[in-house]
Amino acid sequence: MFGWIRLFASRTRAWVSPHQVDREFEHELDNHLAMLTEENLSRGLAPEKAKRAARIRLGGQTQLKETNRELHGLPFLETFLRDIRFALRMLRKNAGFTAVAVLTLALGIGANTAIFSVVYAVLLKPLPFANPDQLFTAFQANTQQGIAETGCSYPNFEEWRAQNHVFSELAGIVAHQLTLTGRGEPSVVNTSVVTPELFTLLDVKPLKGRVFFPQDGKQGAAPVVLVSEDLWRGRFGRDPGIIGTSIDLDKRPFTVIGILPAAFRTPFFNTRQEVWIPLVQDPVFSAFMPQRGVHLLPVLVRLKAAVSVVQAQAEMDAISGRLAAEFPAENSGWTVRLVPLQKEIVGDVRTELLVLLGAVGLVLLIACANIANLLLSRATSRSKEIAVRTTLGAGRVRIIRQLLSETAVLGLLGGIVGIALAYWGVKALSSLLPSSLPQMNPIRVDYFVLGFALLLSAIASVAFGLVPAMFAANADIQNTLREGARSGESRNRRRARSFLAIAEISLAMVLLVTAGLLLRSFARLTSVGPGFDTQHLIKADISLPQFQYSTPQQWAAFSEKFLAGIQSDPGLQDSAVVVPRPIVDPNVSLPFDIVGNPPSSEGASRTASYVSVSPDYFRVMAIPLLAGRVFNQHDVSSAPRVSIISEAMARLYFPNQNPLGKQITFGFPRGSGGATREIIGIVGNVRDVALGQDPGAMMYVPFAQAPLWGANLVVKSTLSTSSVAAAIRQEVQKIDKDLPVTDVRKMPDLIDASVAQPRFRMFLLGLFAVMALVLAATGIFGVISYSVSRRTNEIGIRVALGASRKTILGMILREILIVTLAGLAVGLPSALVASHLVGHMLFNVSANDPATLAGVAFVLAAVAALAGYIPARRAMRVDPMVALRHE
Amino acid sequence: MAGDKSEILQGTLDLMVLKTLETMGPLHGYGIARRIEQISEEALQINQGTIYASLVRLMQRGWISGAWGTSDNNRKAKFYSITRAGRKQLHTEARNWERISGVIGRVLGIAERG
């Protein structure tokens, strides 16, 4: 053991200062020689002869020195370092090649690392809570009613808590927005409404103060609130004495008891939550707490340490059964479904991200193929060097090792530049990410992602380095040396190069087809008319505090007064109140019955989107009236109840009839005897849910007859958004100075934002496809121009023998054509597989869209022809005399 | 195999160097080479340079140590001396050598008579 260490130490010392070891040894040998010479002289030899004899006795000095050096060295490490030094020298010598290869690889690795950092943060990294794998969501489902996933009622939640033995903690959580007043402008804050156990369940420590205690969730408890660190730093100016003070939410005082750290993310909700209040204090949800039939509360659970999800599910099944027996009216048919929290949070983003990761992986593959191709051509020009090395005694393994060292250095350089690109890419990506992307963990290049990048560059360098190195090491030495560097490329190597070019084209085709489909789909999505005119349309939200404005009469009175005020402003004449607005607000879909028709069966109920509007709505939005009349000032609560339906609703529920004058009952819950309304008009269709969703059946009611909470405004105005906001604020504050006016934005911008996710995926895939196309083009250019330069001789002979320039051009173009066609032939089926993977993301475009396929094939062929044209021209211009003399 | 043969030769040379240093005390390379030649009555004519590889190996194992000093005729030379570990090693190796040579001798003796 010690011997080994001493050996290593001695060798390392020699390795660190090799020159000193050499010098000492030289000195020693000189001494030895001198002594031998003296001995010979004393025997009576002549000085010259004495010296010679001494040298012979001692033996070859160079060899002795070499042996000495070897004995002192660390052979493996030394060869390795020599290889690296040599590799660096070679790479420096071929600066152009190195730059192209490093840049290509860096692009591939950078893009992969950037995308991976998103995938890692969203899909792979455990949620930022203690023991995240114990966290599940418990949803209620009712297959009889076709409900797959909904919350739990509060009374059932209490039963779950009391009866289960499998969870260490359960908590309910919902979110909405409340109005925050006092201390500055009134504003709307994202509010999490929770049961107090949430914070023990997630093991959250407050930045200051305390989290909720169980008694804070009891009926009659004092209203308390937790605020976020961001809110505290921003609105409250880091007030150190905020704990214990009171803030107003929806005009009701809450005592601040704690500040939650900025790093804390409330599960489920993508938006940053700003305040947390106990469920019992919430103006909306607390009203439903006693009702066992209202399923509003998503529940978060933590499994006990030794309990499996199967056991937990069995226990919840048993509890559901007991509850159904005990309360059949509210609970029969309802079951519980446990879903891992991470899975629930990630949702359908998973496929989206995996598609992106796959796409960017293809880009790296193409990059590798490109570099392998470059290396292959370089290995051909280096075949003489390698042949010489082999003759001088280098083994096959030794040569492969040397060549692999070169690619490893290339890979490492590419990796380093790539990581730099990734840092920049993640920054650029963060500004592009759609808000629908859950970000429980921050997206950044951390150690894990760095490790991934390095691993990737290592794998990549083996991927693009091994095959060329093996080809090089297998070269036929004798032929190479005999014919010199001018020897033609071996058949296998040429085949390998063509294979790589074909692979590049087919991979590029996969990406181009996918990107092309997404592009077409996006173009169709954004060119689709929403059914109303968005030009100069501005929206604004006015939140009415629930405690103050709690009755429909108050809502109607407010919006009437408010709208009258707004419309008196000459710039804001074209304004209307509408709840909910199409696309930008969540739609309200309600069941209805037609008077005189048999009520629909439970399973197949008639439903329509329900919208409450002020009379001018259709004019402001430019929604065309197709039949009958629109609402007017006389359709008030005392007048007969009326409604207007959309064209789609007329077609769907009144086929071959005139809906005008028909009566419908449109109230909720069903059968509760909601008001009967006469249909007085039919208007054009509007895409109420999303641009990508066909217009559904819609029904409009006068706001004055059926007010909904809130006064959401749409204004058609050529004024700037800020002056519209100022004017609205002024009118609102004339009525109530504590009402916040928020989210004053241009409708076209919001509709644009509603397609952020398809735009994001289209943009990234498009970017990758362009990268792939450029890489494939350079790949083809490389293959063809190399082949031309190798064949200069042959072309010269052909021309000398009478081949026309056209024939030569045809010959080269045929080579390009064969490679391209083969690439397309392999690419087409692969592209179809890929396009079906993204089929569900397409809007109005088939996954087999022939136009896209043909277009991509054409683009690829054109690019290939263009890439090959430059070298082909060079071949055409070959002067037979020069070419033949070239030998 | 060529490797095996040289290993045995290396081993014997190392053993001879050790023994020389044990009997003679500190010596420089020339001295060691001369001594081995004399003892073997000039039968073992080696390239004297080969002992340097042996010296490096022995140094690396810690069986001998080397230091620069002045020779009889006032020349700076590197003197090698055996260490305690080297003496121990020498005895083990010498016993091994006796045993092996004894075995070989017996085998050869029997073969002759048979």
Question: Which residues in chain A have their CB less than 8 angstroms from residue B75's CB?
Answer: 31, 34-35
DSSP symbols for A277-334: EEGGG-TTGGGGTT-TT---B-EEEEE-TT--HHHHHHHHHHHHHHHHHH-HHHHTT-
A-chain residues within 8 Å CB-CB of B78? 24, 28, 31
Q: Are residues A577 and A709 in the same domain?
A: yes
Domain residues for the domain of A727 are 544-739
* Interchain contact, B29 vs A24, CB within 8 Å: no
Confidence of residue B101 (pLDDT cuts 50, 70, 90): confident
In chain B, which residues have their Cβ closer than 8 Å to the Cβ of A67?
A: 52-53
Nearest-Cα distance to chain A for B106, in Å, is 35
Residues A634 and A735 in one domain: yes
Q: Which of A320, A766, A797, A233 is nearest to A519 (CA)?
A: A766
Instruction: Give yes or no for residue A474 having a pLDDT over 80.
Output: no
Residues A174 and A151 sit within 8 Å (Cβ to Cβ): yes
- With an 8 Å Cβ cutoff, is B38 touching chain A? no
Q: Would A535 be classed as within a structural domain?
A: no
Confidence of residue A479 (pLDDT cuts 50, 70, 90): low
Query: Do A881 and A847 share a structural domain?
Result: yes
- The C-alpha torsion from A767 through A770 and A775 to A779, rounded to 10°, is 160
Residue with tokens 């999505």: A525
Task: Look over chain A and give the mean of its residue pLDDT values, rounded to a whole number.
Answer: 85
Q: In this complex, is the C-beta atom of A476 within 8 Å of any C-beta atom belonging to chain B?
A: no
Cβ–Cβ gap B78/A36 under 8 Å: no
Q: Say if A708 falls within a structural domain.
A: yes
- Looking at the structure, give the CATH architecture of the domain made up of residues B2-113: Orthogonal Bundle (1.10)
- What is the model's pLDDT at position B6? 41
Nearest to B52 among A6, A57, A68 (CB): A68
* CB spacing of B56 vs A24 below 8 angstroms: no
| Chain A touched by B69 (CB under 8 Å) | no
Nearest CA in chain A to B61: A3
> What are the structure tokens assigned to A847, written together?
């996954």
Subunit contact A32:B48, Cβ cutoff 8 A: yes
Distance from CA of B11 to the nearest CA of A (A): 15
pLDDT at A601: 56
Across the interface, whether the CB atoms of A68 and B53 are under 8 A apart is answered yes
Domain end (from A739, A770, A799): A739
- B76/A59 CB distance under 8 A: no
Nearest CB to A28; choose among B29, B61, B73: B29
Q: Kindly indicate the confidence band of residue A14, based on its pLDDT and cuts at 50, 70 and 90.
A: low
What is the band of A390 on the pLDDT scale with cuts at 50, 70, 90?
Answer: confident
Same domain, A338 and A359: no
Residues of B in contact with A24 (CB under 8 A): 78
Q: Is B52 on the interface with A (CB under 8 A)?
A: yes
pLDDT given at position A143: 78
Over residues B75-84, the mean pLDDT reads 88
Q: What is the 3-state secondary structure (H, E, C) of A167-187?
A: EEEEEEEEEEEEEEECCCCCE
Q: Do B52 and A28 touch (CB under 8 A)?
A: yes
Cα-Cα-Cα-Cα torsion A139, A143, A147, A151, nearest 10 degrees, comes to: -20
A25 touches chain B (CB under 8 A): yes
pLDDT at A155: 92
CB contact B86 to A (< 8 Å)? no
Helix (H) or strand (E) run with residue B73 in it? none
Q: Could A59 and B28 be called an inter-chain contact, meaning their C-beta atoms sit closer than 8 Å?
A: no
Closest CB to B30: pick one of A27, A32, A68: A32
Q: Are residues A555 and A510 in the same domain?
A: no
Rounded Cα distance between A34 and A45, Å, is 14
What residues of chain B lie within 8 A of the CB of A57, using their CB? 47-48
Residue from B13, B60, B80 whose CB has the most chain A CBs within 10 Å, to mutate: B60
- pLDDT exceeds cutoff 50 at B3: no
Is the same domain home to A639 and A657?
yes
Examine the domain organization and report whether A631 and A768 are in the same domain: no
Residue A64 has its nearest CB partner, among B49, B71, B77, at B49
- A317 and chain B: CB distance < 8 Å anywhere? no
CB contact under 8 A, B50 and A27: no
pLDDT at A860: 92
B105 touching chain A per CB within 8 A: no
Q: Does B19 touch chain A (CB under 8 A)?
A: no
CA distance B104 to chain A (A): 31
**pLDDT for res A485:** 46
Q: Which residue, A690, A706, A739, sits at the end of a domain?
A: A739
Are B56 and A72 inside 8 Å of each other by CB?
yes
Task: Point out the residue among B30, B48, B56 whose CB comes nearest to the CB of A68.
Answer: B56
| Beta pairing, strands B76-82 & B27-28 | antiparallel
Q: Do B61 and A71 make contact, defined as CB atoms within 8 angstroms? A: no
- pLDDT band at residue A11, thresholds of 50, 70 and 90? low
Output the DSSP codes for A814-883: HHHHHHHHHHHHHHHHHHHHHHHHTGGG-SS--TT-HHHHHHHHHHHHHHHHHHHHHHHHHHHT--HHHH
Domain boundary among A306, A326, A346: A346
Question: Which of A218, A179, A183 has its CA nearest to residue A197?
Answer: A218
Q: Domain check: are A150 and A209 in the same one?
A: yes
Position B31 pLDDT exceeds 60: yes
Residue A1 touches chain B, beta carbons under 8 Å: no
How does pLDDT run across B32-63, given as a tens digit for each residue?
888 888 887 766 666 788 888 888 888 888 88
What is residue A672's predicted lDDT score, i.e. its pLDDT? Answer: 46
Q: What is the pLDDT confidence band of residue A753, given thresholds at 50, 70 and 90?
A: confident
Interface probe for B, chosen from A5, A26, A28, A68 (most Cβ of B below 10 Å), is A28
Give the integer Cα–Cα distance in Å for A175 and A191.
6
What ipTM was reported for this prediction?
0.83
Nearest CA in chain A to B30: A32
DSSP tag of B50: H
Q: What is the pLDDT of residues A329-388, one digit of tens each?
A: 888 888 999 999 988 888 878 888 999 999 999 999 999 988 888 888 777 777 777 777
Co-location of A193 and A252 in the same domain: yes
> A709 and A560 in one domain?
yes
Distance CA A299, CA A313 (A): 14
The answer to whether the Cβ–Cβ distance between A32 and B50 falls below 8 Å is no
- A250/A396 same-domain check: no
Which residue in B54, B56, B58 has the most chain A C-beta atoms within 10 A of its own C-beta, making it the best mutation to test that interface?
B56
Label the pairing between strands A589-591 and A663-665. unpaired
Tell me the CA distances in angstroms from B106 to A26, A648, B99, one per residue in order: 46, 113, 10
Residue A756, pLDDT score: 85
pLDDT for the residue A230? 92
Domain tally, chain A: 4
Q: Which residues of A841-876 are buried (b: 16+ CB within 10 A; e: fewer)?
A: bbbebebebeebbeebbebbbebbeebbbebbebbb
A595 phi/psi in degrees, rounded to 5: -65, 130
Q: Considering CB atoms only, which of B33, B57, B62 is closest to A71?
A: B57
**pLDDT exceeding 70 applies to what percent of chain A?**
92
Same domain, A211 and A242: yes
Cα A250–chain centre separation: 37
Cβ contacts (< 8 Å) between A58 and chain B: which residues?
A: 47-49
Of the two residues A81 and A419, the one the predictor is more confident about is A419
From A24, which residue of chain B is nearest by alpha-carbon distance?
B78
Question: Does residue B71 belong to the interface with chain A, where contact is any CB pair within 8 Å?
Answer: yes
For A101, the token pair is: 């290869």
Q: Average pLDDT in the A571-579 region?
A: 88
Q: Where are the domains of chain B?
A: 2-113
Interface test with A, best of B47, B57, B84 (most A CBs within 10 A): B47
Give the pLDDT of residue A5: 67
- For residue A509, the one-letter residue type is M
Spatial contact of B65 and B83, defined as CB atoms under 8 Å apart:
yes
Q: Is A3 on the interface with B (CB under 8 A)?
A: yes
Is the confidence at residue B103, as pLDDT, over 70?
Answer: yes
